[in-house]
Structure 1
Amino acid sequence: MSNMTKKNAESVTPGPAALMTAQAEQAITMAKASFEQIATKSREAMEQSMKTVGVVTEMTRGNVDALLESSRAAAGGMQVIAQEVADYGKQTFERTTTAGRTMALARTAPELIQLQSEFARTEFTTAIAEYSKLSQTMFQTLTAMFEPLQKQAITAAQIKDLMKE
């Protein structure tokens, strides 16, 4: 082979050093691409995590607010119920005292029986009306207590569905 042909053959076929350099550059390029992909995926995961933390924080705040509102409704309702029961007890005591004095003035047994019957009928009717009123107040209190919790549960379900998407 002539010198010229040898030179052309050497310039076309890379030597071991050139081959190693090319492989090293290819490895570096692949490593950079992998690291960039890892960095991108890590950044996306971090952003998703931060979004999730934000949602969880907001849900927790909503839960606490709903519990506080429910507790206020319960306390207010119990106060109204306690006042109604106290008022009813006071009125019953006054009616019973008045009826007892009236019955003490009865002159005959039939008159006493009639006064007792009227008192019993009146007290029964009053008790039914009072229990109905008390039941209505309890129902309103329970409705007011569970309304904020129900709203928060619906919100939580909607957010859960959004998080799946």
Structure 2
Amino acid sequence: MYTQLTNKGTDMLNNIEDMQKLGKDNMDMAMESFGSVTKGMQAIAAEVADYQKKSFEDGSAAVEKLVASKTLDKAFEAQADYMKTSYEGFVSQMTKIGEMVTDLSKDVYKPYEGLMGKMSK
């Protein structure tokens, strides 16, 4: 009877240790994932800020060019050039940010890949 109680106590102690290890592993994965989110969001925010600055500068230059136009044709040409480059820049920037978000998603998921592999077995 004593050995049965001792074995049950040892099993319970092992279960508690396993649960503590699992909890620690889960916390480590969550912190790694959170670090990836933080780093990725900072990079995206910096990219958006750079784009906003460039967009403002381009807009200011376009207004100056528009005001300096001597003829109506030159004014329309300046406006059309600005609209074209502005649109192309916007599409390019959104593509880049989309790629950054995709990379961020992959980085956030990485810590959980091993766990998902264990669960599927």
TM-score, normalising length: structure 1: 0.69
1:80 is the counterpart of 2:47? no
CA distance in 1 between counterparts of 2:82 and 2:114 reads 48
Match of 1:138 in 2: 101
State the 1:149 CA deviation: 3.0
Aligned residue-pair number:
121
Match of residue 124 from structure 1: 87
1:48 aligns with 2:11: yes
* Counterpart in the other structure of 1:97: 60
Q: Which runs of 5+ in 1 are unaligned?
A: 1-37
State TM-score, norm by structure 2: 0.92
Letter in 2 for 1:139: T
Q: Deviations over 1:14-59 (max 9, x none)?
A: xxxxxxxxxxxxxxxxxxxxxxxx2122112112111111111111
Distance 1:77 1:55 in 2: 33
Give the C-alpha shift of residue 151 in structure 1.
2.9
Q: What percentage of residue pairs aligned between the two structures are identical? A: 20
1:147 corresponds in structure 2 to 110
Which residue in the other structure is 1:114 paired with?
77
Structure 1 CA distance for aligned equivalents of residues 47 and 82 of structure 2: 21
Tell me, which stretches of 5 or more residues in structure 2 are unaligned? none
